[in-house]
A and B are shown apart, each in its own frame.
Chain A
Amino acid sequence: MSVVVPEAERPVSGVAGAPLIEIEDLVVEYGFGEDGVRAVNGISLAIQPGEIVGLAGESGCGKSTVANAIMQILRAPGHVAGGSIRFRGDELLGLKPEEIRAFRWRSVSLVFQSAMNSLNPVTRVGDQFVDMFQAHEKIRKSEALERAGDLLELVGIDRQRVRAYPHELSGGMRQRVIIAMALALRPDLLLMDEPTTALDVVVQREILEEIQKLQRELGFAVLFITHDLSLLVELSDRIAIMYAGDIVELAPADELFRHPLHPYTAGLMSSFPPLTGERKLMMGIPGSPPDLKHPPSGCRFHPRCPVARETSCVADVPVLRRLGNDRAAACHYAGEVR
């Protein structure tokens, strides 16, 4: 069910000016007709140029689907069933294949979770850069390899590795290669889908610092998708929390951390133990994510919510409503949970 947020209530981000990418009431379904599952239930989100937006949620909440929808690489039977995605004002959905190809990577690029699997295992790393360059511009192979080397150095890898095969590199190096490849055409927006989940903590930290450094240098916007909220809190400007296909809260990072408005966000926050400070009782969130084929009525979170009311929460779907400066939450009783 698509919920329209009136113009006045749409959250405005901290940076003024026209948004880089604007998602409006996006609906993505897997399958058709009766067998269809709504993975994304009519979400709206705007990202400003140079902004880092985090998108967090449990597995299966639809966050990866959003990224795939933007890049238009949804795997069958997934398809966009409604809404619009505008990049610099131009509608992306419904573009011709040639236009989509040109848009991809140049304007928006994507970093997957599994770096090993993002690289063609039988081709040299450099050649994969060459393929990408040659798909977008007329360039000689030697020159493309040169630029590939530059990009590797940008992410801190010896340029000789251009001749390496993916399996010859370590996990962390491969991830850097993927990031380098994603930035090759200087996109305006970088989508990162769980880029560090498969790495150990130390490498994770290195990669995150690398990303931050590059973002400061090159000024691209980032949509950082992860289930690990702790990463987002220090990395992003704003954070959007997704649950079962809806965006349930949207706020600047530090405010979200200090004062979550939506019960789900509050639950997530209490799910990780702080290293310092007083000992807290770990709460977690009881229950499990809903079956998207038969979602709960009304608010999708109500079966697990500590402050759910029998009447309104079960009957009415809460709208993502603006609450104060830069903040929005989809809850009838936002702010009640501490």
Chain B
Amino acid sequence: MRFILRRFVFYVIAFWAAITLNFLLPRLMPGSPLDGLILRYGSAIQNNPELIAQLKASLGSADEPIWHAYPVYLHNVLTGNLGMSTAQQVPVTEIIRNTLPWSIFLVGCGFILSFVLGTFLGMLAAWRRGGITDRVGTPGLMALQSFPAFFLSLVAVYFLGLKLGWFPIQHAYSNDTNPGYTWGFVADAFRHAQLPILVILAISVGGWLLGMRNVMITTVQEDYVTVAHAKGLKDRKVMTGYAARNAILPPLTGFAAFFASAVGGLILVEVVFSYPGVGLTIQQAALGHDYPLVQALLLVFAFCVLLANFIMDCVYVLLDPRVRSS
């Protein structure tokens, strides 16, 4: 329990660090982002004093001392006031509300599936070293990992989508369907998600497989596995209940680093497939120097990663009783 509490406190601190980073970044950059914005968006901003005030709060300006602006900014963020998107002229929170669910959908299906599949294959590869899974799967999936997400996406789009026409290649749903909780729409959404999810699988499975496999190899040599065999337990039971059950713990602790890079992959996949999630949005926003949106999205990403990590920590505590007592 204390473990969970400590992790929770850490995540709060990390989130605060993200907010602070967000606050400091525009002020540390050469030049004044605010002036840059005004230059770019001109009248849209200048006629809106409220907007200017907000932008000053988040981006900083010459007439506001930092120790003044910081609490204001903190307060804004924590009350959900993330400003207006300068490019789209709508509140940032609205944009996030529209795009985040799509990303979560992709992540949920893609990355979780890759974790399950990867660790399962890794377990098999280690159990039968030199067997098919190890000889073909390990190097094969590892090789697949070398292909960057955007490249694989392009390959997938071109060969599987355009040339063979097996999958839709853009967006989350067809232009002629109406969003809503209808069966038709859900099916359409799934169809559109196939290719992105396939790409996500391709880039992630290898990592889980290798991690699990390497830990399994040393776990298999532990005494309790030998004793389990000696007790006459079935081979499969020893593999799953004794070896894998222990071997899965170290890879789980690597989840933090994995998720941080998984987010990168998500952004690239969304961009190539024009998938309307937060990844595509942050790219467009950044290119268009839509600072309020960019900053808010960084916070969103940070928050989601922290949340995912916290969930994984809880899962870890459930799986490893030794942590509970410490």
**Residues of A near any B CB (own CB < 8 A):** 71, 73, 75, 101-106, 109-110, 112, 114, 117-123, 131-132, 135-136, 165, 167-168, 181
Contacts and interface: CB of A to CB of B under 8 A. Distances in A.
B257 interface: no
Given A119-B227, A122-B319, A122-B322, 5 more contacts: A101-B233, A105-B231, A106-B232, A110-B230, A135-B231
A123 B233 CA distance: 15
Interface of B: 221-224, 226-234, 237, 241-242, 245-246, 249, 319-322, 325
Nearest to A106: B232
B232 A101 contact: yes
Given A75-B221, A131-B241, A122 B320 contact: yes
A131 B234 CA distance: 10
A122 B232 contact: no
A259 B158 CA distance: 86
Contacts of A109: 230-231
Given A120-B224, A120-B242, A123-B245, A73 B229 contact: yes
Nearest to A104: B232
Contacts of A165: 321-322
B241 A112 contact: no
Q: Which of B232, B234, B325 has the most CB of A within 10 A?
A: B232
Contact of B228 (A102, A120, A122): A120
B231 A121 contact: no
B232 A118 contact: no
In order of increasing CB-CB distance, the 6 nearest A-B pairs are A117-B223, A104-B232, A105-B232, A165-B321, A135-B233, A118-B227
Contacts of B237: 131, 135
Contact of A104 (B230, B241, B245, B319): B230
Nearest to B242: A120
B223 to A, nearest CB: 4
B232 A121 contact: no
A71 B230 contact: yes
Given A122-B246, A123-B241, A131-B241, A117 B224 contact: yes
Contacts of B325: 167-168
A132 B224 contact: no
A118 B233 contact: no
A73 B232 CA distance: 11
Nearest to B241: A131
B246 A121 contact: yes
A336 B249 CA distance: 59
B232 A136 contact: yes
A2 B304 CA distance: 67
Nearest to A74: B226
B251 to A, nearest CB: 14
Given A105-B232, A109-B230, A118 B223 contact: yes
Contact of B223 (A114, A132, A168, A181): A114
Contacts of A135: 231-234, 237
Contacts of B233: 101, 131-132, 135
A98 to B, nearest CB: 10
A104 B231 contact: yes
